[in-house]
Structure 1
Amino acid sequence: MGYQILRSGEGVGGRASQCAMAIMAKAPRVGKVKTRLAPPLTLEQSAALNICFLKDTADGLAKVSGAEGMVCYTPAGDEAAFDDLLPAKFKLIAQRGDKFGERLLAAAEDILACGYGSVCLIDSDSPTVPKAAFEQAVAELAREGDRIVLGPSQDGGYYLIGLKLAHAAVFENITWSTASVCEETIERAREAGIEVVRLPLWYDVDDGATLAILRGELIDGKMPEFAGIAGYEAPHTKEFLAGLREIVAV
């Protein structure tokens, strides 16, 4: 299946009332995605699990009212890697920029330039984020006035950042890939006079320890200790992990 490809500035009427829910994702190629999960998984298993994450996140977003789902992908030109992985109405838009903060800012700029009223940039490593968290993000961004919405991750980063305007300040002077990313982002927003709304705390799956948390949640029915609400059922991921019980047990 080929998906519509968006390009910055190619606005279409009727999008102003919609929040673009954009999964930031690499093309799911073996050896290019989720490599920190190998071990305990093989590179082939890690790539297959990444596809499950992508499917579950996209399926969950497709159920959120007032939102339109898409994948903001890299590398440009590798659109075919997403064929048949996403809901039919999903769209694709290429990432641009070099450093991580630059890519996030460019994604916000390009998606908002397509005519959407707001945008949420969502990681591809958190397949069980509760639907309620996504719904809260859309609702907060629909209110009058400017603000950013942050979904903090247990590791100190964030699984979602939502904006109505592409504020460069919240992507600059951030120590990326550290435990201070979320708090630094909040501080940059406060310095710029931008209201910040926090979503429920959740987690990214990027190593053996967090894979064990995911296994506990989906296979053993154990809510993460830090979670205040139940997560999304992530059926693709659950089915995959069910066949890897011994590998992911810690």
Structure 2
Amino acid sequence: MSAESNAVAPSTTLLIFAKAPIPGKVKTRLMPSLDAEQARDVHVALLERTLEIACRAFPATHVQLWAGLEPAHPTLEALTERHGIMHHAQPPGDLGQRMHTALAAQSGPALLIGSDCPVLTPMLLERCAQALDDHDLVLLPAEDGGYGLIGGHRLPQRLFADIPWGGSEVAARTLARAKGLGLRVACLDTVWDVDTPHDLERWRALDATT
């Protein structure tokens, strides 16, 4: 598949979870290396990149932004209007409950990502969507023990329950739970997010070589 072709099967939806860009509320682990406004700018740059990649892999009609903190923030509204994508407020609950609710709202297979994983590419997103042809669950484990993408067909709520969100065992616990539920799982790659000053330098170095 071409990375430029929006070639993902039209039944697959991509959901992007992102916080509104409020200084002091986003990318706080980059501070004090950056001030609150600079950390906010990094968050916005990562979100813009994520939306661009998403809309290269998927038709805009199958990309959705699920926003937290202040869902109607002007920057989020401008970005969704620019890309022609759907815009929702994140539902209540912990991260697992919010992810399950968003995924369960879809009529077909769906993938869910965050907004700060710079190694996601259109080709990798397409591969993840294709994996759902013969798997129940697709997961991209992250180097810090979390994951950068999860997706599937009507995933059971139990998959997201009682997970220590933000810890180093998120992916391992999720995979163990999936095995216990009898799900066929595809793990196509390991990814990393921009959370710390080291990650930020790594992203800048990556951008300099691409």
TM-score (norm 1): 0.74
Aligned-CA RMSD value: 1.9
Q: Deviations over 1:34-86 (max 9, x none)?
A: 11111211110111111111111010010114672111111365253313224
- Aligned residue for 2:87, secondary structure, equals strand
Partner of 1:157: 146
Partner of 1:84: 78
1 CA distance for matches of 2:206 and 2:70? 34
Larger Cα-atom Rg:
1
2 CA distance for matches of 1:182 and 1:122? 14
Q: Does the 8 A contact of 1:21 with 1:121 survive in 2?
A: yes
Partner of 2:95: 100
Q: Pick from 57, 64, 67: which aligns with 1:70?
A: 64
Aligned identity (percent) is 29
Partner of 2:31: 38
Q: List runs of 5+ in structure 2 lacking aligned partners.
A: 1-8
The AA in structure 2 aligned to 1:131 is: P
1 CA distance for matches of 2:10 and 2:65? 19
Deviates more, 1:70-79 or 1:99-108: 70-79
1 CA distance for matches of 2:91 and 2:64? 16
Greater helix proportion: 2
Q: Pick from 127, 134, 155: which aligns with 2:118?
A: 127
- Aligned residue for 1:160, secondary structure, equals strand
Ranges of 4+ aligned residues in structure 1 off by more than 6 Å: none
Is 2:18 aligned against 1:52?
no
- Aligned residue for 2:56, secondary structure, equals coil
Residue correspondences, number: 200
Q: List runs of 5+ in structure 1 lacking aligned partners.
A: 1-15, 222-232, 234-250
TM-score (norm 2): 0.87
